[in-house]
Amino acid sequence: MDDTATPLKGMYSEWFLDYASYVILERAVPHIDDGLKPVQRRILHSLKEKDDGRFNKVANIIGHTMQYHPHGDQAIGDALVNMGQKEIVVETQGNWGNILTGDSAAAPRYIEVRLSKFSNEVLFNPKTTLWAASYDGRNKEPVTLPAKFPLVLAHGAEGIAVGLACKILPHNFNELIDACIAVLRKEPFEIFPDFPQGGIADAGDYNDGLRGGRVRLRARIEKVKARELVIREIPFGTTASSLCDSILKATEQGKVRVAKLEDCTAENVEIRVHLPAGIDADQTLQALYAFTDCEVSISPNACVIQDNKPRFLGVSEILRHSAKRTRTLLGQELEIKLAELEDRWHFSSLEKIFIEKRIYRRIEECETWEAVLDEIWTGLRPYLPMLRREVTDEDIVRLTEIKIKRISKYDSFKADELLRGLEKQIDETKRNLKRLTAYTVKWFEGIKERYGKGRERRTELSAFGRIDAKQVVVANDTLYVNRKEGFAGYGMKRDEAVCKCSRMDDVIAFSRDGTMRVVKVAEKVFVGKDVLHVAVFNRDEPKIYNMIYRDGRGGRAMVKRFRVEGVTREKLYDLTAGTAGTRVLWFSEHASEEDANLIVRVHLKSDLRLRNFQIDFRFASLDIKGRGAKGNILTKHPVDRVSRISKAEQEEIEERSQKEPVAASSPKKA
């Protein structure tokens, strides 16, 4: 037997493990840093090397990429077409196929591609890129691109390796930027899939994109006539052709009754479903969801390469990593820029001294190189304290390379302007480094402003059975409150019912001591003891609140009208002057100014000095302000209680007010 022979068992355990590791790391799973698989990274690197602003033939890019990617032209071409159809990192020209109809792209020799402005701004910077040798050692390629955007979450990713699979669903471009900003500001956020085909998605079981989660997708179907349905949007992973095939199959099985099916899909999806006489359209619509690909279910499995091994991370964790890495990369870019600016300032200052102080004339009689350097050093020595760093021999050599033409045309005024401009840029760069988080947030906002137009959400998030998910949950959940203990939620069914609510809603609660907080609705959540008012909080439609409170124990009565708009969850807000012992005497919520125009009766405590023991106050006499306003003085006398007058009395007061003003209708400012 040959001594060099390897047992089959040993070959399997060693070679198969190497093969599995290679497939996972180098083919199937994207890297967490730039969100790209190796083939995608190499394509983008090749596009950058050939980027001159013009379109390149895809066949040319495929050939250029093959010097970095050892898996053949077919894999490269398919990956490039896939990226081109997503319309984020590359711009395309020609027939690149249609994700709606399933039509494939034209041959690579007929279609063209170039990098988008977005990818040029976000994905590349050779100064912050780590390089490695290509597979044959002839070229260098990036280990990862310095991506400053969660590209894997925008593109989505799918790959089957050895022993594991990856499936990351695509998300909305603008929502990802908003979530990155929320991460930097340490605010809560949620991200859900958004698909280019549109449709309706139920992401209630998304599970942050991890294994075990599920997203249900439905086509958008309109009932245009009593006997005709039109499919306008289709689920992710299907095409108009495959959807029609599933409908025809269900029809053959007798599960759906369809008289005629017309696929008119071109730029937009349009599949017309004609029904036979006597068939109910609503019933057929439900059958389409039940028995065809008009409803599909997708199970995500977010997996990325991190620290040279696969890791199963939720999409929220991937996004947090991307946002923090963006901050780090921007910091590196600023530090590099600062070093370059300071180097320019140093040499420009050195050049200014060299020319204006005529040090160049000292070398006219020198006969050796050493003598030239010594004369320049001698001439510069009195001016060295003016510089920001030490002068090196390399600086002296650079001075000797200045051409006579530049010296003769040297303009001191322009030189001073250049130095002032450099100093201004240096100061600005240092400020940005000190406030790097704010700088990163501003950078993200700029990216959204420049590239976010036309990238609005296409897939509607909803619980199936309703078009709007929030409206569905409102019909199923009730908000309850325990005013004494200070808890509210939809699971407290033994307590006082307040209103219908959605599990996606926020709850706003006002306490008797004049404080307010906004919390996320839950089964049971603390909202503050001695609750005076609790309701669902809608940021888009702020209500008007009328409030009268006693400022401290035995203090004067204050009155205010206000709206609550921008708030932070869980933060406690004081709506009063903050005096100990403050107590709210009157509080009411109104949907409109007309509704808020009510008159209340303020009953004062008995006092021999008073003639009138009650004040009729009209809230319309006050301007509506923000929640932080302390209010105006209503009365300095002790108040017993505040009550709302009847509608008849209010009409009587209104009539009387036209003749004489209502008492205390213009309280003084505090």
Question: DSSP string of 152-184?
Answer: HHHH-EEEE-SS-EEEE--B-HHHHHHHHHHHH
E-assigned strand segments in 527-657? 531-537, 544-550, 557-563, 573-574, 583-590, 599-604, 614-618, 625-626, 632-635, 639-644
Q: Does 464 have pLDDT greater than 80? A: no
Q: Which CATH architecture has domain 214-298?
A: 2-Layer Sandwich (3.30)
Predicted local distance difference test score (pLDDT) of residue 453: 94
Q: What is the mean pLDDT of residues 118-143?
A: 93
E-assigned strand segments in 2-69? 56-57
Q: How far apart are the C-alpha atoms of 345 and 350, rounded to whole Å?
A: 8
Closest CA to 123 of 15, 56, 59, 41: 41
* pLDDT tens digit sequence for 95-129: 999 999 989 999 999 999 999 999 999 999 999 99
Q: How far apart are the C-alpha atoms of 605 and 614, rounded to whole Å?
A: 9
DSSP state of 193: B
pLDDT band per the 50, 70, 90 thresholds, residue 476: very low
Q: How far apart are the C-alpha atoms of 449 and 440, rounded to whole Å?
A: 14
List the end-to-end C-alpha distance of the chain, in Å, as a whole number.
Answer: 103
Please answer whether residues 528 and 515 qualify as being in contact, where contact means their C-beta atoms are separated by less than 8 angstroms: yes
According to DSSP, the residues that pair with 536 across neighbouring strands are 507
* pLDDT tens digit sequence for 441-452: 999 999 999 999
Q: Does 229 have pLDDT greater than 70? A: yes
What CATH number has the domain spanning 325-450?
1.10.268.10
3-class secondary structure, 237: coil
Predicted local distance difference test score (pLDDT) of residue 468: 33
Closest CA to 303 of 616, 37, 594, 585: 37
Please answer whether residues 235 and 217 qualify as being in contact, where contact means their C-beta atoms are separated by less than 8 angstroms: yes
In the chain, how many H helices and how many E strands?
18, 34
Q: CB within 8 A of 433, min separation 6: which ones?
A: 331, 334, 335, 338, 439
Active site residues: 110
- Tell me which of 174-183, 289-298, 547-556, 650-659 is least confident: 650-659
Closest CA to 235 of 252, 253, 254, 215: 215
Query: Cα separations (Å) of 471 from 94, 462, 465, 496?
Result: 43, 9, 10, 22
Please answer whether residues 315 and 171 qualify as being in contact, where contact means their C-beta atoms are separated by less than 8 angstroms: yes
pLDDT band per the 50, 70, 90 thresholds, residue 604: confident
Put simply, whether the predicted model's pTM sits higher than 0.85 gets the answer no
- Phi-psi domain of 222 (left: phi exceeds 0; alpha: psi -120 through 50; beta: other): beta
Q: How far apart are the C-alpha atoms of 254 and 272, rounded to whole Å?
A: 19
Task: Please work out, in degrees rounded to the nearest 5, the angle formed at the alpha carbon of residue 156 by the alpha carbons of 41 and 55.
Answer: 50
Q: CB within 8 A of 58, min separation 6: which ones?
A: 77, 80, 81, 108, 109, 111, 112, 113
Q: How far apart are the C-alpha atoms of 166 and 311, rounded to whole Å?
A: 10
DSSP state of 24: I
Q: Does 617 have pLDDT greater than 90? A: no
pLDDT band per the 50, 70, 90 thresholds, residue 475: very low
Which tokens hold the place of 141? Answer: 């390629």
- What stretch(es) of the chain map to CATH 3.90.199.10? 15-185
* pLDDT tens digit sequence for 288-331: 888 889 999 999 999 999 988 889 999 999 999 999 999 999 99
Residue entry with tokens 């509080």: 587
How much of the chain, in percent, has pLDDT values that exceed 70? 91
pLDDT band per the 50, 70, 90 thresholds, residue 550: very high
Query: Cα separations (Å) of 376 from 119, 348, 398, 400, 411?
Result: 47, 16, 11, 9, 21
- Tell me which of 31-40, 338-347, 408-417, 659-668 is least confident: 659-668
Q: Does 88 have pLDDT greater than 80? A: yes
Greatest Cα-to-Cα distance within the chain, rounded to the nearest angstrom: 122
Q: What is the mean pLDDT of residues 272-297?
A: 86
Predicted local distance difference test score (pLDDT) of residue 473: 31
Predicted local distance difference test score (pLDDT) of residue 507: 93
E-assigned strand segments in 98-251? 112-115, 130-133, 140-144, 157-160, 165-168, 200-205, 214-218, 220-225, 228-233
Q: Does 594 have pLDDT greater than 80? A: no
Quick count: other Cβ atoms within 10 Å of Cβ 95? 13
Please answer whether residues 670 and 598 qualify as being in contact, where contact means their C-beta atoms are separated by less than 8 angstroms: no
Q: How far apart are the C-alpha atoms of 188 and 43, rounded to whole Å?
A: 36
**CATH number 3.50.50.60 given to 15-185:** no
Closest CA to 262 of 252, 272, 270: 272
Angle, to 10 degrees, between the axis of helix 173-184 and the axis of helix 436-451? 170
Which tokens hold the place of 475? Answer: 């019909």
Q: How far apart are the C-alpha atoms of 540 and 561, rounded to whole Å?
A: 19
- What stretch(es) of the chain map to CATH 3.30.1360.40? 214-298
